[in-house]
Amino acid sequence: MKKLDVNLHKGDMLQGKWNGRTYTIIRELGSGACGTVYLCKDSQGEKYALKIGGDSSRVMLEVNMLKKFSKVQGVKLGPSFVDVDDWEVRGKGVYPFYVMEYVEGKSVREFMRGRTKDWIGICALQLLTDLDHLHRAGYVFGDLKTDNLLVEKARIRWIDVGGVTPIGRAIKEYTEFYDRGYWGRGSRKADAAYDLFAVTMIMMEMVYPKRFSKGTDPVKVLESKLHAAIPLKPYRSVILGIWKGRYSSAGEVTRDLKRVLMHPGRSGSSRRRGKRMASETSEVLAFSCFVMAFFGVSIFSFWM
């Protein structure tokens, strides 16, 4: 893999070698092992996300994945693909890049601020619904984490497909906190359960925003953190079931999570909490209906 030794700054312009389209950098959005993503605008002023890397084969894998996502009927799994090209830098070489839809939303942490524990389950439910589509198509997300998610108009969107891996292959891109191998809960072989574990860690992060380390006994640390997390109490049995390998598909978890959300067993003793819940009722119902709409949608395969 060619080392990416070019830093882009606000106002820098890239012109594609083959397609000739020009993009002006606005700011950096994020950086990882496989490249850097920038917010940019084209010659018409339209905003996009541009990812540039040093490995052309890796870039094409991600481009092909974006194209596949755009062909799934009934659900939009990732950003829309816009353009792919090479950027030639005099004296430094040629760098592959691709351009995709810019998802302008809130981080999961920002979206969850001030919301009740019901939203933890609702967000997880939507993630699981989208993952079920992906798994049935033969892939796992791999590097599923809050950094790769944004909430746009009460809809969770995936913004980086760099870790998507065919089922049965080895996971090559991961983040320790969300990785079941790091916590001694399984291998790094791509299967549905790998993503399910990451969903539980996203739920944990909603309670522990600063995260936590595995210590000397990862299994014990996880379970103690779970039992100490009061907002996760309604979801404990589902989370533990994932950790102990009781679920083999996102659909199975979705079924049980729906039951928890429909029958939360809330106590009516807290008047103050009741008022707070009432103030959020319309918002929760609106988002719940939006998410539940996915349950009636048939699962479609990826078109070739």
Phi/psi zone of residue 212: left (φ > 0), alpha (ψ -120 to 50 degrees), beta? beta
Examine the fold and report which residue of 77, 101, 125 is the final residue of a domain before the chain moves on.
101
* 231: DSSP letter: G
pLDDT reported for residue 268: 40
The number of domains in the chain is 2
Q: Are residues 197 and 141 in the same domain?
A: yes
pLDDT reported for residue 77: 78
Torsion of CA 260, 263, 269, 274, to 10 degrees: 80
| In a domain? residue 153 | yes
Examine the fold and report which residue of 101, 126, 152 is the final residue of a domain before the chain moves on.
101
Those residues of the chain that have pLDDT short of 70 are: 1-5, 33, 70-75, 264-304
Residues near 303 by Cβ (< 8 Å), separated by ≥ 6? 68, 71
Task: Answer yes or no: 143 catalytic.
Answer: yes
Range list of H helices, 82-235: 108-112, 118-136, 192-207, 218-228
pLDDT reported for residue 72: 56
In angstroms, rounded to a whole number, what is the distance separating the alpha carbons of residues 101 and 75?
16
pLDDT reported for residue 190: 97
In angstroms, rounded to a whole number, what is the distance separating the alpha carbons of residues 52 and 87?
9
| In a domain? residue 161 | yes
pLDDT reported for residue 14: 94
Q: Which amino acid is at 69?
A: F
Task: Give the range of the structural domain holding residue 39, as residue numbers without chain letter.
Answer: 13-101
> What is 26-76 written as a DSSP string?
EEEEEEETTEEEEEEEETT--EEEEEE-S-HHHHHHHHHHHHHHTT-TT--
User: Which pLDDT tens digit goes with each residue over 38-48?
Assistant: 999 999 999 99
Instruction: Count CB-CB contacts under 10 A for residue 252.
Output: 18
Q: Are residues 180 and 221 in the same domain?
A: yes
Q: Are residues 194 and 287 in the same domain?
A: yes
Examine the fold and report which residue of 43, 71, 101 is the final residue of a domain before the chain moves on.
101
pLDDT reported for residue 143: 94
User: What is the pTM assigned to this prediction?
Assistant: 0.82
Q: Which of 130, 143, 160, 195 is catalytic?
A: 143
Q: Are residues 177 and 289 in the same domain?
A: yes
